[in-house]
Chain A
Amino acid sequence: MELLFSPWPWYVSGPLIGLTTPLLLLLGGRAFGVSSSLRHVCAAVYPRDIEYLRYDWRKDGLWLLIFAGGLVVGGWIGGQLFRAESSVAISGQTVNDLAHLGISDIQGLAPASLFSWSSLLSWPSLLLMTVGGFLIGFGTRWANGCTSGHGITGMANLQWPSLVAVCGFFAGGLLATHLLFPLIF
Chain B
Amino acid sequence: MSKNNSSTLSLRDKLIFLVLGIYFGIVISKSEAISWFRIQEMFRFHSFHMYGLLFSGVITAAISLKIIRSLGLKTINGEPAVLAPKDTTTWRNYLLGGTCFGIGWAFTGACPGPLYTLIGTGLTVMIVPLCFAFLGAWTYGYLKPRLPH
Interface residues of A (CB under 8 A from B): 7-8, 10-11, 13-31, 34-39, 41-42, 45-46, 50-53, 56, 58-60, 62-64, 66-80, 82-84, 88, 90-91, 93-94, 97-98, 106, 108-111, 114-117, 120, 127-148, 150-162, 164-178, 180-181
Sample of 18 further A-B pairs with CB below 8 A, known A29-B4, A63-B2: A7-B32, A11-B56, A14-B55, A15-B57, A27-B75, A29-B81, A35-B112, A41-B137, A42-B137, A51-B145, A72-B117, A75-B29, A76-B122, A93-B46, A94-B40, A127-B107, A135-B107, A147-B113
- Chain B residues within 8 Å of chain A by Cβ, number: 123
A-facing mask of B83-96, CB < 8 A → 1, else 0? 11111101101111
A111–B23 CB distance below 8 A: no
B108–A165 CB distance below 8 A: no
Cα distance A127–B131 when bound, in Å? 14
Interface residues of B (CB under 8 A from A): 1-4, 7-9, 13-14, 16-44, 46-50, 52-62, 64-65, 67-68, 73, 75-77, 79, 81, 83-88, 90-91, 93-113, 115-126, 128-142, 144-145, 147
The 8 Å CB contact of A143, one of B41, B94, B130, is: B94
B102–A168 CB distance below 8 A: yes
User: A-side binding surface: helix, strand, loop or mixed?
Assistant: helix
A146–B16 CB distance below 8 A: no
A-B contact pairs, 5 of them (CB 8 A): A26-B81, A72-B25, A90-B38, A110-B123, A161-B86
A15–B56 CB distance below 8 A: yes
A139–B103 CB distance below 8 A: yes
Contacts of B118 in A (CB 8 A): 75, 79, 109-110
Minimum C-beta distance from A100 to chain B (A): 11
Q: Nearest 10 pairs between A and B by C-beta?
A: A74-B25, A70-B21, A172-B102, A168-B98, A75-B120, A142-B97, A137-B136, A79-B121, A132-B107, A18-B60
Cα distance A130–B55 when bound, in Å? 30
